[in-house]
Amino acid sequence: MAESSPWDDISVPGADFNVRQVSGETAVPCFWGRDTAGACLFIVELQGNHTVQYRKNVVTVHGIDVDLRSGGPVLQRLVLTLEKQVDRDLFEGLCRTLAFALERATDSASSLAVALAHIRRWKTFLSGRSQLLSAEEVRGLFAELTFLLELIDREASTTTAIEAWLGPEKSHQDFIFGNTAVEIKSLSGSERSTVRISSEDQLESLNDALFLRIYRLSSLPDAVGARSLNEIIATIQGRLGEAEAVEAFDRKLVAYGYAPLPDYDGPRLVVSDARSYRVSDEFPRLMRSQLPTGIDRVAYDIRLETIAPYECDGEAVFGRN
């Protein structure tokens, strides 16, 4: 269940604003707040004068006022103000992920740079947002992120692992690393044993090796290892040690249509089965290069029992076998 809003226990002040400090180890103090109109605020406290940096990089977001205010002779505050209460879930997601991002900053100048870049990414997401991810899209993203975690464990560079994730970029396969391509599919615990191949390009590759990896996901909130979409994303964010990887991961989540909303605190999923298949020449599939002239946009189902002869050890996907 999603936790209560951080603004719930902050009273409306008679003047200025009331605040409560954000928990965590951010490089600069951050606060949840309310102003005299009762609006929800997020405040980043900065030492020094950053007016030039702010004016050069300021970004405007519909529904959120972004302002740099003086807090004293050597103090400035970056203040984010929510204009409409109906968007509070989105605003909370923006602020919580901003606080997380600020843990990687080192001082006030870098904190302001991180904050403005973060707000710009959210603007990109909000400008294209029409609705929440469907249950099927949540499972699909969860499966891709599950594989991404496995890849992070095996790559020396987290940036290299994130660069290999091409699913958000509408590539023919979800991952390409080295000379290996991997297409990821998910099944719910109740689905019949078929997987949908959504185009004639998904199981055709110019790479030396092509694999199909299928995760069966079950909604078991109390099971050991069960995680929500928000939780698996937070796990990956905690594993990214390179600034380039953090930036690239955020950008790809935006491209996928994800934002850290409370709606994605459920369902909590667990991988109940994972199978890998080597897509060889004899593998049953439809390919663009073999379609009759005029046939396009092909989608089809593959019965898992028919591809059992092509199943391989999961480590083979990573060139270990």
145-166 pLDDT per residue, tens: 999 999 999 988 999 999 999 9
pLDDT at 67: 95
Chain-centre distance of CA 137, in angstroms? 12
SS3 at position 138:
helix
pLDDT tops 90 at residue 280? yes
Tens-digit pLDDT profile for residues 167-188: 999 899 999 999 999 999 999 8
Chain-centre distance of CA 52, in angstroms? 32
**CA separation, residue 265 to residues 11, 96, 140 (Å):** 27, 14, 16
pLDDT at 299: 96
Tens-digit pLDDT profile for residues 14-36: 999 999 999 888 889 999 999 99
pLDDT tops 80 at residue 1? no
Mean pLDDT of 239-258: 81
Instruction: For residues 30 and 24, give the distance between their C-alpha atoms in angstroms, rounded to a whole number.
Output: 9
pLDDT tops 90 at residue 71? no
Q: Are 196 and 183 in contact, with CB atoms under 8 Å apart?
A: no
